């Protein structure tokens, strides 16, 4: 039986390692600098050419919620809270949107033409605790009245 041995020179080992490192290191979509002989990676969507000296500005897409949407989200979070502690934390956050905890909340229960019929008036604190206790968020925001600081001073809901 004959044994085969490989005689690999140190120069061949260095060349093989440099090729392996070179092919595995450029996996990102970074632009290559001028004068580079490395292959260019083509993406499916061509990027516009930019000045290499200027940093690229990436603007994150952030949806701004309106105060009405934030308040609706708080109502839903309070009504569906998994625990009393969680509901109470959401209540405290929601109260930060109001001028005070005694801001009136009017609930329209019937509308005949342009004359609405309201349920008994309550305060925002009482209404938020009502949501926590009943776990029922059926009312929708109809009107919000703001004070000069941009806080809610009166809320009208409809069932």
Model pTM score? 0.60
**Confidence grade of residue 49 (pLDDT, cut at 50, 70, 90):** low
62 has a pLDDT exceeding 70? no
Rounded Cα distance, 97 and 159, in Å: 22
Residue 91 has a CB neighbour count (10 Å cut-off) of: 21
pLDDT at 87: 94
Q: Decide if 29 is inside a domain.
A: no
66 has a pLDDT exceeding 90? no
State how far the alpha carbon of 32 is from the alpha carbons of 24, 40, 50, 54, in Å: 15, 7, 12, 14
Total domains, the chain? 1
Q: Decide if 116 is inside a domain.
A: yes
pLDDT at 65: 81
Q: Decide if 26 is inside a domain.
A: no
pLDDT at 145: 92
Longest Cα separation, the chain: 106
Q: Decide if 148 is inside a domain.
A: yes
Q: Are strands 140-146 and 104-112 parallel, antiparallel or unpaired?
A: unpaired
Q: Decide if 150 is inside a domain.
A: yes
- Strands (E) in the chain, as ranges, are 104-112, 115-118, 122-123, 140-146, 152-158
Could you report how far apart the first and last alpha carbons of the chain are, in Å?
Answer: 93
144 has a pLDDT exceeding 60? yes
Mean pLDDT for the stretch of residues 49-61: 64
Q: Decide if 16 is inside a domain.
A: no
Q: Decide if 78 is inside a domain.
A: yes
What range defines the domain where residue 85 resides? 67-158
Q: Decide if 88 is inside a domain.
A: yes
Mean pLDDT for the stretch of residues 83-93: 94
Residue 32 has a CB neighbour count (10 Å cut-off) of: 13
């Amino acid at each position: 039986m004959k044994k085969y041995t490989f005689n690999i020179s140190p120069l061949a080992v260095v060349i093989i390692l440099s090729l392996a490192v070179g092919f595995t290191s450029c996996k990102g979509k970074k632009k290559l600098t001028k004068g580079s002989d490395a292959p260019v990676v083509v993406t499916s969507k061509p990027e516009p050419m930019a000045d290499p000296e200027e940093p690229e500005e990436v603007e994150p897409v952030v949806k701004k919620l309106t105060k009405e949407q934030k308040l609706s989200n708080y109502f839903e979070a309070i009504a569906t809270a998994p625990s009393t502690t969680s509901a109470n934390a959401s209540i405290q956050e929601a109260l930060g949107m109001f001028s005070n905890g005694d801001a009136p909340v009017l609930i329209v229960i019937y509308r005949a033409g342009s004359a609405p019929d309201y349920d008994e008036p309550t305060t925002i604190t009482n209404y938020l605790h009502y949501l926590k206790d009943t776990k029922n968020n059926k009312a929708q925001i109809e009107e919000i009245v703001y004070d000069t600081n941009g806080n809610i001073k009166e809320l009208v809901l409809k069932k």
